[in-house]
Chain A
Amino acid sequence: MNSDIKFFRVGVASCGVAAGSAEVRAMLEAASSVPVTGVGCIGHCYAEPIVEAVLKDGSSVFYSGVKANEKSIANIIELGEENRFQIPETRKSKELVKVLALAGKVDPVDFDDYVANGGYEGLKKALAMTPAEVVNEVKIAGLRGRGGGGFPTGNKWGFLAAKEAEEKIVVCNADEGDPGAFMDRALMESVPHQVMEGMLIAAYATGATKIFIYCRAEYPLAIKNISTAIAQICEHKLNVFSNREIEIVIKEGAGAFVCGEETALIASLEGRRGQPRFRPPFPTDSGYNGFPTMINNVETFGNVPLILREGGSAFASIGTEGSKGTKIFALAGDLKYPGLVEVPMGTTLNEIVFDIGGADRSVVKAVQTGGPSGGCIPVELFDTPVDYDSLRALGAIMGSGGMIVVGNDRCMVETARYFLDFTHRESCGKCTFCRVGTMRMFEILERITAGKGTEDDLTTLEDLGAKIKAGSLCGLGQTAPNPVLATLRFYRNEYEEHVREHRCAALQCNAFVDLSLDTNKCVKCKLCVKTCPVGAIGDDFTIDNDKCTRCNSCADVCPKNAIKRVAKGTK
């Protein structure tokens, strides 16, 4: 055991655990004579499991891709050279870690650890101010909702503060429904107290009597850590101020994307179908059980302690004119370093995707922001600064911060089809445009990708898409056509290719693809013949494309990469 080591940190957030960090932690604990702390996520998901050896001089040595075997653990304990991990320089220079500063540093469920690192200083400062002063500080900071809408948080707080009611409710929207976003999960898993501190400050500033955390059930670790944090808060009576005790309740969502919509979330909190209703009345006038209710997203709350600790003006000094502070993005898709990244608002897509994400410029086609509610932005426009207004101008949205890098080998029509498949299923079924309209758009996209589309279908998509945006009751329907409209705007040629030439350049749409075996590369190992589930490959290594289901199993098992997808009819 190297005597320079003070203690170890092991990332045991969901990504880490999925990569095997629980086993690593157990083995390390058994082998180590210094403490091993389980911490949250440092954002470098591609490198999990990650072990940080904190040295007595305060510096750290990181290990990545640690395996749960003796050799690997021994290497760490001896501060060996193998598997050492350096954060890439290009990333370091672009990042500005504020909200995530304690993620991966503190033990998520250790109250004292959080307090020792400046935790609850923001709350303390707030309690020394009047509620109105706190609201004002948030207004000065210029914080806007991180859940996607971008509504000024201070204003929302002001609305609730102005209400007189027997009960007033603050809700934390932790129903991170955008498939492709995981910032909120990481925050709740890694720094639950920071999120809770933000909520307590909000409750103080707005005069709220009750706090709900509405968290998706797919995040068991987040629920566990938040629940632990709540118990610790109650134990330390941090929820008692202004002569009242704030009740804090965590409710698990039951799987409905639409519950990210304020009024649907409230319906769900009330134990009903998560269907939105017409606004006004706005929730701050009449929300949960008719009481004034204010809903903010996890990351929004995560920013609040910073604002109180460092002051609204300091917060506002970061970012752009209209978008203040930093933003956490969940980077995924076709890039080298998927994970979480926190950058100042206004950082360009080029910086995020290439400098930080390490994507290969030659293979990137576009980036999809805002998930199923957002749009794609082609690589040619990557000098766009990422802020609420610039993205909206491109037909995309900031959304909650999911950012999927799309490579050249992806078909944009198929990508649009995928998103509409998601939204039409997630539509609550209440209003006509969304319930039927998204289904019809999805069906058209299915036709186009199946080789049965027409030019008229493209016109219908545009016309119907615009009407669904204009005529839907809630945000889900109002944004559902975005992925289609954006791809039609930037990649119309791909749509036209599908309907006119019956061709999918990305070779993704099965209707336009054959599988082809290169006999020069083939070593006749017969793995493909054995693997094919439908018997489409004969003993003479010819592929019967009429039988073939394009499942790609053969290409996947071929040791020589002799089987390729080719345009249909290629000889």
Chain B
Amino acid sequence: MDMKRDYYEDVELFSSPVVVFWFIVLIGSLYLFPMFVDNYYVYVANYIAINIIVAAGLNLLVGFTGQISLGHAGFFAIGAYGTVILMIKAGFPFLLALPCAALVAAGFGFLLGLPALRLEGPYLAIATLGFGLTITQIIGRVELFGGRDGLHAPDLTIGPWVLDTDKEFYFLVITLTIFLLLFMRNLIKTRVGRAFIAIRDADIAAETMGVNIVFYKTLAFAISAFYAGIAGGMYAFVLKFIEPEIFTLLMSILFLAMVVVGGLGSMLGSVAGAVLLCWLDLKLRNILDIPYLGEWLKDLSENWFSITGVSNIQYIVFGSIMIAIMLFEPLGLYGIWIRMKKYWRTWPF
């Protein structure tokens, strides 16, 4: 009997033909889905996919490397503005402007990573929060960036194709999302990812095992910012118009909430968290559409929870979900998934 193990199994993406099958089904249905739904849901899908990219990038920083960022809306804004400005002012094609803008975001990520070497926990949170707020202030005051008036996204063409509907744009967004997720998954399974996790779990031991902490901590910031930058660049074309007020502190907090609700240190978790929170965010904006409870929720929200009279029920729901997750399942949605898998494996015992 051959006792030699196949070591590739440990890092393999597809552990069995069944997984390959479901993966193909998933990818196939993602590409076919716009044919069967109306435009609004394609817009929702674009919005969710973009948030998945940010959540995955942020999870690398928070979940895998153990640092925190409350400034990801800043990187997101750099990506959005960078892409649009490179296209308008420098005449770059979209597929060149997008990675260039994301590289600028990564550069800022690297710079923010430098003070982060000496800061931890709440201090790092405040430093990154300051960054996020500053970026939008600066953008709002520079004429080149359209100031407070914002910027219109130019027409989006890739070679001979003009992507002027949500459906056409969807194929670009979903392709990029799939590749970025696969890249990150591979990264985490190999040497660099192990170094990130090692820094999170025991930084002193990682250092004495030869991991250059300065390099890997700043690298984590840069990669995370790059992902947020790519997402931001695409977001500009989902909205078709960007202004500084979009990239608020609340947006940074929602990104962080996606990562925490989905599950820190889990790729599937980032996807699940982004899907859940984005979907709830969009749904709860129109609370009157909710059957039976809609009217009542609107009254409740306007009379009791809001000081401005604007209904804000989505944040109350987010808050409740986050409290519930922290109390019952600190690993987030990913933790629930793991438990379900265990339950079915041993069912009916």
A binds B: no
A residues apposed to B, CB below 8 Å: none
B residues apposed to A, CB below 8 Å: none
